[in-house]
């Protein structure tokens, strides 16, 4: 059992939790939910012991594993060793055993110590540790040739996958995962889901992937107004329950307000008459009936709608033997395709398969090495890159940065657009250099909505969005009347927004005419 007792925490003057007491039981899988800024990651750090609460205590199982974020700690270790280091007791025993053998110490004391270490290694399943670590790395998409590479030599995405394998290794009693699906492709997400569904310890996970939470969670621990409320069921179950509770509360409040109005009418009518005792009793009843304030929902959802300035022609883009080569072989082999106005294409594949390259070529950000690309009449391309820090000019406020893209726009309209994306009040005056990842993405969406492109190319648009932002984006894209190309591992977005799939695998692009769920049923995704 993981138990939290009267935990409070404030950050930068904002109270995140006040006297939170809750517990998490074995064989249950908890999703930790709440909007950006609610304190999910802070609470997770308190659970794993990386951050002390202002008050209160946390009691956790001895073997508690958490997803580390700093891969530089393991720069000089191989990927395989880094995974095994997830079981601290086993790794320490193996290293001490190795030191004794290398020292050549044959004393009785050394022999006794070796026997003790053998017991620890056997108890921690050390003799199958390498094969178990390799199985985790394979499932998370790390190629076998990288197992003996140092972490320093791996790509950023591979390093994060190794750290995830490290957290999963060693059969921990409690597993704490903050955004484990980040940088995972669809194959790896599905493998991780299967692993977690078979996990029998305590799982607590933060994720912006709604389908992931719906597939694996038995409970949702929701951060709500400085407390944490645990709901049975998955994320969608929690939203329904929470909405029903608020509706009941609103109905009860309306009934109490009507009763108060009736009582006040009686008091006003008879306060100067002979029914003084009845008036006094009704005054006391009014005081008792004063309704408690209904706190606004902690779910803050942006409103995303992509309108068109004008339609493109019927023909949007043609590929003829399109390919690209960075100098070490084709990213993808020659590809032919024709895209008409209003088509909605999801681009999927493993990391490094060429999704970003294809979108950059589509958007005109990169010139292909070979082949022909013909863009149609009046096609106006809006592009959202995956790495977007360099696209935002520093030294400006949010509203002036956005207004500069359309100087003729009314500044109040710009601020209204920012409000729809949760930049309310003076938040539009924030400096662009100070924005979080989620704020930057929401600001870039404001730009796309302001300029009303009729063709969108979006590269991993759900990165840095919370659950409500991802849901709003899916709804906005489902209503979009233009032509869409989107590279994403968000299966909800693919299912709700796309009618055609381009699947990049082994340097080829499979063009599937149908929805993602049909594609997944046919090809096992």
- Please report, in tens digits, the pLDDT of each residue of the chain (525 residues total): 999 999 999 877 778 888 999 999 999 999 998 877 778 888 999 999 989 999 999 999 989 999 987 878 899 999 999 999 999 999 999 998 999 888 888 888 888 998 999 999 999 989 899 999 999 999 998 999 999 999 999 888 889 899 999 999 988 999 999 989 887 888 889 999 999 999 999 999 999 888 999 999 999 999 877 788 899 999 988 888 877 766 676 676 777 777 777 777 777 777 766 666 776 777 777 777 665 544 555 567 889 999 998 899 999 999 888 888 776 666 778 889 999 999 999 999 987 788 999 999 999 888 888 888 898 888 999 999 988 777 888 888 998 999 999 998 888 888 889 999 988 888 888 888 888 778 889 999 999 999 999 999 999 999 888 888 888 999 999 999 999 999 999 999 999 999 999 999 888 899 999 999 999 888 876
Nearest to 24 by CA among 53, 4, 46, 50: 4
- Going through 186-233 in order, the beta strands assigned E by DSSP cover 202-206, 219-224, 227-232
Residue 318: strand pairing partners: 338, 374
SS3 at position 118: helix
Q: How far apart, in whole angstroms, are the C-alpha atoms of residue 455 and residue 448?
A: 10
Is residue 326 helix, strand or coil?
coil
Number of C-alpha atoms within 13 angstroms, CB side, residue 425? 1
Burial of 150 (0-12, 13-18, 19+ CB in 10 A): middle
**CA 298 to each of CA 22, 185, 215, 222: distance values in angstroms, whole numbers, following the listed order:** 19, 30, 23, 10
Residue 11 to residues 43, 49, 94, 287: CA-CA distances in angstroms? 11, 17, 40, 37
Q: Are residues 323 and 357 in contact, defined by beta-carbon separation less than 8 angstroms?
A: no
CA distance 147 to 138: 9
What does the alpha-carbon distance between residue 453 and residue 442 come to, in Å, rounded to a whole number?
17
Q: Which residues is 206 bridged to in the sheet?
A: 178
Cα distance between residue 427 and residue 33, in whole Å: 24
Element (H, E) at 415: helix 411-420
Q: Judge contact between 38 and 210, C-beta under 8 A.
A: no
């Amino acid at each position: 059992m993981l138990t939290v007792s009267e935990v409070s925490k404030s950050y930068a003057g904002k109270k995140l939790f006040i006297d939170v007491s809750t517990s998490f039981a074995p064989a249950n899988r908890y999703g930790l939910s709440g909007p950006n800024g609610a304190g999910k990651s802070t609470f997770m750090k308190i659970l794993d012991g990386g951050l002390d609460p202002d008050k209160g205590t946390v009691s956790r199982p001895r073997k508690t594993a958490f997803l580390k974020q700093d891969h530089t700690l393991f720069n000089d270790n191989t990927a395989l060793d880094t995974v095994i280091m997830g079981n601290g007791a086993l790794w320490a025993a193996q290293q001490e055993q190795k030191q004794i053998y290398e020292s050549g110490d044959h004393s009785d004391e050394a022999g006794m110590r070796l026997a003790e270490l053998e017991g620890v290694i056997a108890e921690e399943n050390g003799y199958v540790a390498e094969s178990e670590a390799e199985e985790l790395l394979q499932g998370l998409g790390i190629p076998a040739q990288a197992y003996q590479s140092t972490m320093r030599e791996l790509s950023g995405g591979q390093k994060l996958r190794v750290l995830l394998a490290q957290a999963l290794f060693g059969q921990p009693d409690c597993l704490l995962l903050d955004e484990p699906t980040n940088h995972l492709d669809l194959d790896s997400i599905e493998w991780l889901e299967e692993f977690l569904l078979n996990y029998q310890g305590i799982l607590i996970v933060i994720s912006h992937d709604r389908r992931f939470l719906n597939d694996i969670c038995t409970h949702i621990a929701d951060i709500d107004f400085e407390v944490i409320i645990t709901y049975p069921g998955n994320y969608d179950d929690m939203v329904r329950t929470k909405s029903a509770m608020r509706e009941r509360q609103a109905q009860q409040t309306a009934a109490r307000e009507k009763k108060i109005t009736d009582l006040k009418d009686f008091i006003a009518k008879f306060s100067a008459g002979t029914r003084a005792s009845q008036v006094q009793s009704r005054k006391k009843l009014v005081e008792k009936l004063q309704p408690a304030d209904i706190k606004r929902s902690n779910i803050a959802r942006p409103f995303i709608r992509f309108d068109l300035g004008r339609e493109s022609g019927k023909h949007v883009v043609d590929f003829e033997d399109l390919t690209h080569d960075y100098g070490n072989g084709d990213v993808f082999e020659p590809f032919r395709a024709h895209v008409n106005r209003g088509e909605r294409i999801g681009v999927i594949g493993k990391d490094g398969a060429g999704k970003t390259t294809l979108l950059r070529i589509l958007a005109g950000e990169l010139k292909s090495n070979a082949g022909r690309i013909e863009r149609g009449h009046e096609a106006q391309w809006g592009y959202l890159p995956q790495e977007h820090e360099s696209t935002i000019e520093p030294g400006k406020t949010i509203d002036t940065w956005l207004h500069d893209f359309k100087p003729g726009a009314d500044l109040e309209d710009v601020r209204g657009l920012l409000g729809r994306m949760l930049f309310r009040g003076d938040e539009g005056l924030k400096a662009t250099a100070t924005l979080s990842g989620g704020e930057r993405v929401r600001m870039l969406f404001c730009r796309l909505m302001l300029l009303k492109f009729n063709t969108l190319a979006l590269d991993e648009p759900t990165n840095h969005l919370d659950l409500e932002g991802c849901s709003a984006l899916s709804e906005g894209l489902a209503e979009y009347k233009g032509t869409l190309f989107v590279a994403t591992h968000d299966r909800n977005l693919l299912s709700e927004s796309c009618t055609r799939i381009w699947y990049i695998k082994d340097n080829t692009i499979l063009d599937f005419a149908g929805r993602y769920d049909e594609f997944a049923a046919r090809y096992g995704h």
